[in-house]
Amino acid sequence: MAGLVTALMAVVALAAAAALGAQAGMAGVFGIAVPYVAVAIFVAGFIKKVIGWASTPQPFSIATTGGQQYSQPWVKQAKFDNPSTPGQTFVRMALEVLCFRSLFRNTKLDNRPAEGRVGYGSDKSLWLFALMFHYCFLIVFVRHFRFFLEPVPMAITGVEFVDSILQIGVPTLYLTDVFFVVGVSFLLARRIWDPKVNYISLASDYFPLFLILAIALSGIYMRYFAKVDVIAIKQLAFGLVSFKPVIPPNVDWSFYMHFFLVCVLWAYFPFSKLMHLGGVFLSPTRNLPNNTRMVRYINPWNDPSIKPHSYEEYENDFREKMIEAGLPVDKEA
Ligand code: HEM
């Protein structure tokens, strides 16, 4: 509970700081200085983390497996749960990254009073809502490129068209806005209501969820309620990416709040659990084929001065003593 309150208060304080700061004449800080610093921290932090992972010794295949290993031709192999070739491993990674396949196998321990027992059952809710949240985030992210590109590419206007296909309201409702908020809210509710997940949840689990929810809600407020001056915001965004920053008039305080929370997300990203974005590709438990019976892995860091000593050599060294002690030997003296 303390983690939840700390994270919520942190997000509220950050949002309030930006909203009040922008109205107190600090638009330059929140619209120019903070974004540059945040992007620099994001890029440097991300690269440092990836270099750290990529240079970590990984001499053995430690793939996590969930099915029959490749063995005899008449034994059916679970190719994508227990891949033995680079091609199968690629498919496994693609299924994991694009379809969150490991979450699809999520189970839940239920108390089943009618049956008089507890039991594990399939639970697809985490998979469904996690998928919903991540894909909506991706689409919202892609749509935002309209603020940074002129003319707006056809691909982005196409995504906008499909996303607002139901033509609800003015400005038209983006379906991803609704599903985005539903997805994050489920992930948050699960941490709060499920006692088992709640028990292991820390402030660092709640903070990104509250932060992302606040970003989404402030964006929704800007679009549907405050109806902010998008042309002025585009001018600000263009100034930033062309390194000729300007603070146009008519930019609502809610934009600075939204943008500041996004900057906090960027700066926080490399030091948080959100780095699973990069980590999933570098995880040796996922990205290696399980071919330990076909390929001999030799640790490249083995000390060359330490020579291997086979059992045969060991027995040759100690055969007489072993026989004296009554130990079995492969070859008699
Ligand atoms: C993590 C990154 C971000 C997320 C998740 C996010 C999320 C959202 C969401 C959910 C909306 C509601 C409307 C829509 O979906 O378009 C929105 C609106 C908006 N966002 Fe963001 N945003 C992000 C980054 C940014 C950045 C970097 C800018 C700076 C240009 C920005 C500027 C705006 C503006 C101006 C609106 C109002 C759009 C309108 O009136 O149509 N956002 N944002």
How does pLDDT run across 288-309, given as a tens digit for each residue?
A: 999 988 988 888 888 889 888 9
Q: Tell me how far the alpha carbon of residue 176 lies from the centroid of ligand 1, in angstroms.
A: 12
Ligand 1 atom having least distance to the Cα of 222? 37
Give the N- to C-terminal CA distance of the chain in Å, as an integer: 71
Closest ligand 1 atom, residue 265 Cα: 1
Find the 140 Cα to ligand 1 centroid distance in Å: 7
CA distance 83 to 96: 13
The residue-averaged pLDDT of 41-47 equals 98
Query: Which residue's alpha carbon is nearest to atom 18 within ligand 1?
Result: 219
Closest atom of ligand 1 to 227 CA is 40
84 near 285, Cβ under 8 Å? no
Residue ID of nearest Cα to ligand 1 atom 19:
219
Q: How far is the CA of 144 from the centre of ligand 1 (A)?
A: 6
In the beta sheet, which residues pair with residue 122? 107
Transcribe 124-171 into DSSP letters. Answer: -HHHHHHHHHHHHHHHHHHHGGGGT-SSPPHHHHHHHHHHTTT--TTT
Nearest in space to 38 (alpha carbons), one of 18, 12, 57 = 18
For 79, phi then psi, to 5°, come to: -60, -40
Centre of ligand 1 from the C-alpha of residue 303, in Å: 55
Mean pLDDT of 305-324: 93
Please tell me the least confidently modeled range out of 104-113, 152-161, 280-289.
104-113
Task: Check: CB of residue 87 under 8 Å from CB of residue 287.
Answer: no
Closest of 283, 301, 219, 310 to residue 257, by C-alpha: 219
Q: Distance from the CA of 162 to the center of ligand 1, in angstroms?
A: 17
pLDDT digits (tens, 9 = 90+) for 175-231: 999 999 999 999 999 999 999 899 999 999 999 999 999 999 999 999 999 999 999
Tokens representing 200 are 């292991």
CA of residue 209 to ligand 1 center, whole Å: 16
CA-176 nearest atom, ligand 1: 15
Among protein residues, the one with the nearest Cα to ligand 1's atom 37 is 223
Whole-angstrom Cα distance, residue 300 to residue 8?
48
CATH number of 2-302: 1.20.950.20
* Phi, psi angle pair for 122, to nearest 5°: -65, 140
Nearest CA to ligand 1 atom 31: 259
Q: At what angle do helices 2-23 and 253-268 cross, to 10 degrees?
A: 130
- C-alpha to C-alpha distance for 125 and 192, rounded to whole angstroms: 15
Which residues does a 6 A CB cutoff place in the pocket of ligand 1?
Answer: 137, 140, 143-144, 147, 174, 177, 180, 215-216, 219-220, 222-223, 228, 230, 233, 237, 255, 258-259, 262, 265
Question: Quick one: CA torsion of 7, 101, 160, 171, rounded to 10 degrees?
Answer: -40
Residue range(s) in the chain whose domain bears CATH number 1.20.950.20:
2-302
The alpha-helical segments, DSSP class H, found in 221-274 are 230-241, 253-268
User: What is the structure's pLDDT at 108?
Assistant: 87
Q: Which of 139, 144, 272 to mutate to test the pocket of ligand 1 (most atoms within 8 A of CB)?
A: 144
CA 106 to centroid of ligand 1, rounded, Å: 32
Centre a 10 Å sphere on the Cβ of residue 294 and count the other Cβ atoms it contains: 10
Instruction: Please tell me the distance between residue 201's alpha carbon and the centre of ligand 1 in angstroms.
Output: 28
Q: Is the pLDDT of residue 333 over 80?
A: no
R_g of the chain, CA atoms, integer Å: 28
CA distances, 295 to each of 60, 90, 254, 290, 327 (Å): 10, 18, 58, 9, 34
Residue 297: its pLDDT value, please? Answer: 85
Residue 169 is predicted with a pLDDT of: 87
How far, in Å, is the centroid of ligand 1 from the Cα of 313? Answer: 70
Whether 34 shows a pLDDT value over 90: the answer reads: yes
Please report, as a single letter, which amino acid is at residue 52: G
pLDDT band at 254 (very low <50, low <70, confident <90, very high): very high
Beta bridge partners of 121: 108
Q: What is the pLDDT of residue 19?
A: 96
**CA gap 315, 310 in Å, rounded:** 9
Q: Which atom of ligand 1 is nearest to the CA of 223?
A: 40
